[in-house]
Structure 1
């Protein structure tokens, strides 16, 4: 009888350990930022990456000013969206070098989107999902929304900015 009690206690102890194990897999695939790719059209009217020197990017809703070190030329980047509001404005100040002539520009984008709140488990807390992203206003030459739902698993930029 004593052997059965010991085995029962061991089984209960093991079951208790596994029952209290917290699900540590809180890695959400949702992100709170939008990814950009700057592109141009080549002579064959095919898209090609376009390096742009961003002096600064300002977002009043996120209380942020983004400045890239020494205005490096980049063709892809990401910016955070406001988790408080259903819109985020970005003011882009950048330079483009065409045939040894540097031209400075200023453009604006206003994104609108919906936020869905989801609780997967009490341990993981609230997970925001940004969906239905659209532009309410933009001044770029051309802009294409490639993915309107922000996910970590998507390998393409959410937004293509066409710079000519």
Structure 2
């Protein structure tokens, strides 16, 4: 095709291939950022442990059972890294913007509280679940209060900018 086809044909053939490779590379890069964050957290935990001659005991950070949630929630220790990129990120932001249209926003410790019609609860819950898959450093809490839904979203300090970008500034 390169020798016989027109430039437009070559571009049309190559563009989706290059875009697919780019999407794959960005997904792998995001996974590496997340993995690097976990390794940095593990290293920080190791460095914080006392250097003792005695055996490890229940106070050791690495003796917690697998899957145990750290004090204060796993979101506090999750690396601040999102695995979405490109079109996936743009689509997700558009979904949040649409869903949270006209929501009342209020800053709370570590995050934001949004109040919106209770009819949006299912859609908010589904989107929060999807968000936690790519951004485990967000903590979502939903509270139904009659005709309204209160959505509280918290994040470690390093994620505050991402939270503001996701949910918008408080009203």
Give TM-score, length-normalised by structure 1.
0.26
Higher-Rg structure is 1
Q: By percentage of residues, which structure has more helix? A: 2
